[in-house]
């Protein structure tokens, strides 16, 4: 069966520090991968998605970037965090062709202070 | 410009009664519709879905209804249970399978 791992679960970082959140998927190959952010009391905002290694689509201009160095690894990064980067970050995967269903990781609560 | 709207931020229902969560969308090109359930500090979990060729899909206590002419989607939970208390997101997709657009969510509270 497929599983998705996302870490860390909680992160507190000072303003101006770098960020690296990692997400890996097991039990499938060539998945679509996604990064979302949920701000407090808000819905899910799609940040990035990837349909293959090295292929990244950015949905909103921001202080963050994403990379997919391996088929089942998706990384969310920032060189310098802003206060507004605080939120709940979610990684998700989907089989791609033939299915719209996305499966989410447990999320990372990021607090930038 | 919100393409998917969940106009009720919260809903309170008594245990055993029906919970009805609503969702409206703007683009008639959307052809696949999903509901997710989310507990605090966890990722959303897929609940039920429906494609545009249907108007109803059932899975146990959960039924999703689609009214394409009204661009309206609803989730019925019968009977509601305290464990159903969570935030429910509707999401829509198109034939490209690459992206979903989520609503802002409705917080359901089921009380005894």
Q: What is the CATH number of the domain that holds A71?
A: 2.60.40.10
Which pLDDT does position A92 carry in this prediction? 97
- B84: pLDDT strictly greater than 90: yes
- Nearest CA-CA partner of B37 in A104, A42, A90, A48: A104
Between CA B34 and CA B25 the distance in angstroms is 12
For residue A35, what are the contacts with CB-CB under 8 A and spacing of at least 6? A21, A23, A46, A47, A48, A49, A64, A66, A74, A76, A89, A90, A91
Residue B24 belongs to what domain range?
A: 4-111
For residue A18, what are the contacts with CB-CB under 8 A and spacing of at least 6? A77, A78, A79, A80, A81
Of A36, A43, A102, which is closest to B104 when you measure between CB atoms? A43
Which residues of A are less than 8 Å from B6 in CB distance? 43
- B24: pLDDT strictly greater than 70: yes
- A40: pLDDT strictly greater than 80: no
Task: Give me the number of domains chain B comprises.
Answer: 1
The 3-state secondary structure of chain B, one letter per residue: CCCEECCCCEEEEECCCCEEEEEEECCCCCCEEEEEEECCCCCCEEEEEEECCCCEEEECCEEEEEECCCCEEEEEECCCCHHHCEEEEEEEECCCCCCEEECCCEEEEEEC
The β-bridge partners of B37 are B45, B88
Give the residue-averaged pLDDT of A39-57.
Answer: 88
Edge-first strand order for the sheet with A73-78 is A3-7, A19-26, A73-78, A65-70
Task: Give me the number of domains chain A comprises.
Answer: 1
Q: B1: pLDDT confidence band, cut at 50, 70 and 90?
A: low
Element spanning A97, H or E: none
Lookup result for tokens 């391996």: A70
Which residues of B are less than 8 Å from A104 in CB distance? 36, 43-45
Lookup result for tokens 């019968």: B78
Higher pLDDT, A23 or A62: A23
- Chain A positions touching chain B (beta carbons under 8 Å): 6, 32, 36, 42-44, 46, 49, 51, 88, 90, 92, 94, 96-107, 109
Residues A88/A73, Cβ–Cβ less than 8 Å: no
- The per-residue pLDDT for range B32-59, each reduced to its tens digit, is 999 999 998 899 999 999 999 999 999 9
Residue B77 CA, distance from chain mean position: 10
Which pLDDT does position B99 carry in this prediction? 87
Which pLDDT does position B95 carry in this prediction? 66
Residue A64 belongs to what domain range?
A: 3-112
Q: A69: pLDDT confidence band, cut at 50, 70 and 90?
A: very high
Which pLDDT does position A108 carry in this prediction? 95
CATH number at residue B76: 2.60.40.10
- B96: pLDDT strictly greater than 80: no
CA angle A100, A103, A109 (to 5 degrees): 130
């Amino acid at each position: 069966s497929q599983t998705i791992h996302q870490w860390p679960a909680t992160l507190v970082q000072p303003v101006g520090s770098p960020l690296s959140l990692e997400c890996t998927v097991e039990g499938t190959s060539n998945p679509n991968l996604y990064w979302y952010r949920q701000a407090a009391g808000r819905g899910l905002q799609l940040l990035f998605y990837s349909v293959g290694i090295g292929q990244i689509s950015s949905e909103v201009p921001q202080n963050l970037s994403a990379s997919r160095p391996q088929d089942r690894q998706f990384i969310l990064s920032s060189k310098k965090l802003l206060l507004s980067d605080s939120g709940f970050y979610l990684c998700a995967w989907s089989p791609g062709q033939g299915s719209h269903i996305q499966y989410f990781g447990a999320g990372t609560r990021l607090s930038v202070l | 410009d919100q393409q998917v709207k969940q106009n009720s931020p919260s809903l309170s229902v008594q245990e055993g009664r029906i919970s009805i969560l609503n969702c409206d969308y703007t683009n008639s090109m959307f052809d696949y519709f999903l509901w997710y359930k989310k507990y605090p500090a966890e990722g959303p979990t897929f609940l039920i879905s429906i494609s545009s060729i249907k108007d109803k899909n059932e899975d146990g206590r959960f039924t999703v209804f689609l009214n394409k002419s009204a661009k309206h989607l609803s989730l019925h939970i019968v009977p509601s249970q305290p464990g159903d208390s969570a935030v429910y997101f509707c999401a829509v997709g198109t034939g490209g399978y690459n992206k979903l657009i989520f609503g802002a969510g409705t917080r359901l509270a089921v009380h005894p």
